[in-house]
Amino acid sequence: MTIGSTAQSIAFVNVTDRSRGVAFYRDVIGLDLLSSDGFGDLFAIGGAKLRLTAMPDYKPSGHPALGWEVADLTAAMAALTGRGIEFIIYPGFGQDSQGIWTSPDNSVKLAWFADPDGNVLMLSSA
């Protein structure tokens, strides 16, 4: 048996404070909470699932942990900014004043932000 492309994916994001993490991913990002148990919380995330797990001494890596491809990057950023999200501008990376990085061939645009635990999250648009 192989996993192949038919198995449903589950992404994992660790947080230090479970209640705060659930509130962020549900209320700020807008994910649907599917279930909770003694070990974590499961969200629907575009045809896949996201498992939020609390780890009291968790330290984020500083690299993107999760991303979303969106049809309209500017509109998605505006919606998140309206919910209190601040986009990350990396010095010397060449982003615009909103925090959007555009690939040299202009085919992809990216923007980064963080959850309350410092997990870097990313939006992309082609």
pLDDT in tens, 81-110: 999 999 999 999 999 999 999 999 999 999
Cα distance between residue 2 and residue 29, in whole Å: 33
Residue 76 to residue 98: CA distance in whole angstroms: 12
> Counting runs of H as helices and runs of E as strands, what totals does the chain give?
2, 8
Domains and CATH numbers, the chain: 9-56 (3.10.180.10), 64-126 (3.10.180.10)
Tell me the mean pLDDT per 10 residues along the chain, length 126.
80 96 97 96 95 95 94 97 97 95 96 97 96
Contact 81, 25 (CB under 8 A): no
Determine which helix (DSSP H) or strand (DSSP E) holds 40, and give its type and residue range.
none
Q: What is the pTM of this model?
A: 0.92
